Amino acid sequence: MPTKYIIVTGGVLSGLGKGIAAASIGHLLSAKLKIVPIKCDGYLNVDPGTMNPFEHGEVFVLDDGAEVDMDFGHYERFLGVRCKSNWNLTMGKVFNMVRKKERRGDYLGKTVQYIPHVTDLIKDHIGQVVKEESPDLVIVEIGGTVGDIENELFLEAMRQMKKDVGRNNIVFVHLTYVPIPAGVNEQKSKPTQQSVNLLKQRGIFPDIIIGRSPEFLTPEIKTKISNFCDVKPEAVITGLDVDDIYEIPIIFEREGLPENIHKRLNIYSPPDLRKWKKLVENIRNPDKEITVAMCGKYTKLEDSYASIIESFNHCSAHLRCKVNLKWVEATGLKDAAWLDQVDGLVVPGGFGSRGSEGKIEAIRLARESNIPFLGLCLGLQLAVIEFARHVCGLDGANSTEMDAETPHPVIDILPEQRAVTEKGGTMRLGAYPALLTEGSVVHSLYGAKKVYERHRHRYEVNPDYHEVLKEKGMVFSGMSPDGKLVEFIELPELKFFCATQAHPELKSRMEFPSPLFLGFVKACMG
């Protein structure tokens, strides 16, 4: 069977959930097919690693160390795949490649042009991924909204692909918006019509239209969209507003999306959502409830912590326990009143000194009051600083990231990290192994001696302070295989006090929640 392609575009508005739609389509087809998701982003950054999460949402990190768009989080969580760096194509990457080729003389004698040179490069890149992975199906998500200048070249490349791969091997899915204006109380198709027209002007004729809407699309509106946009009525699918994104594959199945794709592509891979539905049902009908304080810097934008939120959803699905996240703005932490209203504290990853003192104070309160604590990356570093200051008596202990002059740099950049200058400066990125100490909390949670979690940080626990921290009772329950880097810490005499230098939230899945999150939530449940 030739490789099949599903191209997902979006119209009308950004933020309609194209990534989740693409991931959900993939989920529904994944039973029998090997699927590779590819995301094309129009921005000129080479990757989102240097973008502010407040603006762009979480930076997702892959096993191979690539910093990619947060939609890769959805792909991995919905498709059960481990994505790779070259599955994310940005205009920044494309232009880098074009310039490199031009300088190398690859185009000698030619005027280098958007069409065909840039569009060819986009298609060649996708072709290369297909060659490497031999997938049955490639899902290409085009970032942005049709009509944006930024994504024109990607759309043009997708238009050309029809001819290259054959019309029976490619399906165009367009996500739009079907509003129900207040007062009118009727589903409106005009934005969809206009957005589809923009797409048609670019030579792309959608086969399937997903209309994001607060209600199921009525047969009338489906007929109307069908008439105006030249798709079959059954190919107009509701993209319902839901509380929980894991419901989307269930909605799409109910709306007949898989059959539509099967027919168009001449494939057959019926979904089996039984287990998935049960887990979603558990999220919907919890029999317990806990409240967890999230003490971060970007508390105004939940997208900045998307994977952490999803990790808690995965725990909810398995423990039937609703996890309410109470966002505590670390920069404004003045008193401990918030502590009485929560069952646990999470200090997530972060960069820079803003809010670090507030977070350290929050960790001190959690430790002294024996409230379950989970530290992620920066959360581990701040827990070590707190312990150094208040238990080891190392006044002014800090990370050199926060205070370059600290008398006790318990967290510091290690010399070997300083030597690395590629990609994101001195960051340690991607999956690294850790060896867990037998008998430790993390060892029992993971049920394994060697675990791989993903990293994205510069600083480490300074080896000069390992001994004093250990002497005072901090357990280094996971170390890098060479024994130099602290990967997990815990305070075993407390109910639950664990932290890791990694980001276990990046590998949590609906079917396989992160063991560390699961242990933390169970501890919060008491």
Tokens matching residue 428: 């340690």
> If we measure between CA atoms, which residue out of 482, 448, 449 comes closest to residue 463?
482
Q: How far is the CB of 501 from ligand GLN (least distance, A)?
A: 8
Q: How far is the CB of 429 from ligand GLN (least distance, A)?
A: 10
Task: Please identify which residue in the block is written with the tokens 């575009």.
Answer: 9
**What is the distance of C-alpha 491 from the center of its chain?**
30
Query: Which of residues 349 and 513 has its CB atom nearest to ligand GLN in the complex?
Result: 349
> Is residue 298 within 8 Å of 305, Cβ to Cβ?
yes
Query: Which of residues 305 and 496 has its CB atom nearest to ligand GLN in the complex?
Result: 305
Q: Find the binder of ligand GLN among 86, 329, 351, 414 (CB under 6 A).
A: 351
> If we measure between CA atoms, which residue out of 381, 522, 511, 502 comes closest to residue 445?
522
Q: How far is the CB of 332 from ligand GLN (least distance, A)?
A: 20
Q: Find the binder of ligand GLN among 65, 350, 430, 519 (CB under 6 A).
A: 350
176-205: contacts with ligand GLN (CB under 6 A):
none
91-150: contacts with ligand GLN (CB under 6 A):
none
Q: How many CB atoms lie within 10 A of CB 230?
A: 14
Q: How far is the CB of 15 from ligand GLN (least distance, A)?
A: 25
Query: Which of residues 237 and 516 has its CB atom nearest to ligand GLN in the complex?
Result: 516
Alpha-carbon distance 431 to 501, whole Å? 12
Please tell me which residue in 255, 361, 503, 524 is annotated as part of the active site.
Answer: 503
Q: Find the binder of ligand GLN among 77, 222, 457, 507 (CB under 6 A).
A: 457
Q: Find the binder of ligand GLN among 456, 485, 497, 506 (CB under 6 A).
A: 456
- Where would I find the H helices in 134-189? 152-165
Residue sitting closest to ligand GLN (CB): 349
**What is the distance of C-alpha 238 from the center of its chain?**
24
Q: How far is the CB of 456 from ligand GLN (least distance, A)?
A: 5
Query: Is 466 in the active site?
Result: no
Query: Which of residues 321 and 385 has its CB atom nearest to ligand GLN in the complex?
Result: 385
Tokens matching residue 142: 């085009």
What are the C-alpha distances in Å from 155 to residues 203, 274, 346? 9, 36, 41
> Binding string to ligand GLN for residues 400 to 419, with x set by CB under 6 A, is what?
-x------------------
**Which listed range, 116-124, 224-232, 345-353, 464-472, lies at the site for ligand GLN (CB under 6 A)?**
345-353
> Is 460 strand, coil or helix?
strand
> Is residue 175 within 8 Å of 212, Cβ to Cβ?
yes
Using CB atoms within 10 Å of the CB of residue 285, give its burial: 0 to 12 exposed, 13 to 18 middle, 19+ buried. exposed
Query: Which of residues 39 and 455 has its CB atom nearest to ligand GLN in the complex?
Result: 455
> If we measure between CA atoms, which residue out of 380, 456, 381 comes closest to residue 411?
381
Number of helical (H) and strand (E) elements in the chain, helices listed first: 18, 21
**Which listed range, 249-257, 297-305, 456-464, 467-475, lies at the site for ligand GLN (CB under 6 A)?**
456-464
- Phi then psi for 512, rounded to 5 degrees? -135, 85
Alpha-carbon distance 44 to 38, whole Å? 17
In terms of phi and psi (left: phi > 0; alpha: psi -120 to 50; beta: otherwise), the region of 440 is beta
- H or E element at residue 172: strand 170-177
Q: Find the binder of ligand GLN among 360, 377, 383, 502 (CB under 6 A).
A: 377
Query: Is 27 in the active site?
Result: no
Query: Which of residues 174 and 456 has its CB atom nearest to ligand GLN in the complex?
Result: 456
Q: Find the binder of ligand GLN among 93, 212, 367, 458 (CB under 6 A).
A: 458
Q: How far is the CB of 394 from ligand GLN (least distance, A)?
A: 19
**Which listed range, 248-256, 303-311, 359-367, 454-462, lies at the site for ligand GLN (CB under 6 A)?**
454-462
Query: Which of residues 42 and 349 has its CB atom nearest to ligand GLN in the complex?
Result: 349
Instruction: Cite the beta strand spans of 30-163 per DSSP E.
Output: 35-41, 60-61, 67-68, 88-90, 137-142
Query: For residue 525, how many C-alpha atoms fall within 13 Å in the half-sphere facing its CB?
Result: 18
Q: How far is the CB of 99 from ligand GLN (least distance, A)?
A: 30
Please tell me which residue in 377, 392, 498, 524 is annotated as part of the active site.
Answer: 377
Alpha-carbon distance 278 to 272, whole Å? 12
Q: How far is the CB of 446 from ligand GLN (least distance, A)?
A: 21
Q: How many CB atoms lie within 10 A of CB 13?
A: 14
What are the C-alpha distances in Å from 245 to residues 24, 74, 153, 287? 9, 10, 30, 20
Binding of ligand GLN at residue 349 (CB under 6 A)? yes
Query: Which of residues 37 and 350 has its CB atom nearest to ligand GLN in the complex?
Result: 350
**Which listed range, 49-57, 117-125, 346-354, 468-476, lies at the site for ligand GLN (CB under 6 A)?**
346-354
Please tell me which residue in 141, 386, 401, 505 is annotated as part of the active site.
Answer: 505
- Give me the residues paired with residue 347 across strands: 375
Q: How far is the CB of 412 from ligand GLN (least distance, A)?
A: 10
Query: Is 505 in the active site?
Result: yes
Q: Find the binder of ligand GLN among 378, 429, 475, 489 (CB under 6 A).
A: 378
Annotated catalytic residues are: 377, 503, 505
Name the site residues for ligand GLN (rule: CB under 6 A): 349-351, 377-378, 401, 456-459
